[in-house]
Each structure stands twice: as C-alpha cells, then as structure tokens.
Amino acid sequence: MGKGAGKARKKLPKELAVVRADNCTGCEACIEVCPVDCIYKVPGEDLPTVQYFVDIDLERCIGCSLCERWCPWDAIDMVPTAQIGEAVAEKGGPPSYVEKHQAELNRVADSLAELYKEQLAAKPAKASPKAAEAAATTG
C-alpha cells in the first residue's frame, strides 16, 4: 500500500472505491470479486464488534465498482476521483490503523485527485462526430 504514490497510470478512473469502516463486517465478499486484488484485510483489534475490516489500495483500483455492487452491507462507495481525498479523510477505521496509516492514505488519495485533475485539464476537448460534421459543413 502506498508505494509509488502518485505514479501515473495511463489514465485514472473517473471513480475510485472507498470502504466506510463503520459498516464493514470483514465478510470478504469484495475481496473475492475485485479483479485486480487491490482490497486488503486490516486487523480490527480495536473494534470489538468486527474481526477486521478491509481497505483499498487506491493506486491499483480500476474503478470497476464490482466491490460496491457485491458488498452486502453497503460499506463501499464509489467516489469521483477528484473528491477522493475528502472521502478517504473521513472513511474511518480501527483507531490503531487510523493512527498509523491515515496520513499516508490521505497523501495517496490527495495525489491521485490532483493527478486526475491534471489529466482532465490536459485532455483535449473531444468533438462529437456530429459537431465535427457540422464544423466541416459550415467551414
């Protein structure tokens, strides 16, 4: 987790997945469906109601939303990549995990949001085929 933060993939997805820790039971349904194996277990020793919860390596998430659809507890939200920093900052988790990792998780999320915004800004505006046709006929 967190290795190579901000390292550019070709293109970041429009949305990324965030686990709301309070709702997660650690049932593992999401781990089984994630096509890129980017969901990992976090020991939840400080949360007596659950054995553990899961978190997501956002640098590898491809935004496919399978985990969101399969989570029986509505613990996963798909969040627009530009807003991923805010969502990660408030997602919660066992206190020991938050204390140890939250700063790095925030840093990664913020850098992905920035990168996404840069990619959007750099993207040339795509003309629809109809608009291109109209432009060609109107000269």
- Contact positions vs ligand SF4 (CB under 6 A): 17, 19, 24-30, 33-34, 36, 38-39, 54, 56, 61-67, 71, 73, 75-76
Question: How many CB atoms are located within 10 Å of the residue 65 CB?
Answer: 16
**Least distance between ligand SF4 and beta carbon 120 (Å):** 19
- Compute the distance between CA of residue 122 and CA of residue 44 in angstroms, rounded to an integer: 41
Question: Closest distance between ligand SF4 and the C-beta of residue 133, in Å?
Answer: 36
Nearest distance in Å: CB 103, ligand SF4:
21
CB of 100 to ligand SF4, least distance (A): 20
Listed as own residue / partner, the contacts of 39-42 with beta carbons closer than 8 Å and 24 or more positions apart are 39/67, 40/1, 42/93, 42/94, 42/97
Q: Which is nearer to ligand SF4, 34 or 109 (CB)?
A: 34
CB-nearer residue toward ligand SF4: 38 or 105: 38
* Helix (H) and strand (E) counts in the chain: 5, 4
Q: Closest CB to ligand SF4 among 65 and 111?
A: 65
Name the nearest CA neighbour of 64 among 14, 27, 102, 29.
Answer: 14
> For residues 28 and 133, which CB has a smaller minimum distance to ligand SF4 in the complex?
28
| Residue 4 vs 139, nearer CB to ligand SF4 | 4
Minimum distance from CB of 119 to ligand SF4 (Å)?
18
Tell me whether strands 76-80 and 15-19 are parallel, antiparallel or unpaired. Answer: antiparallel
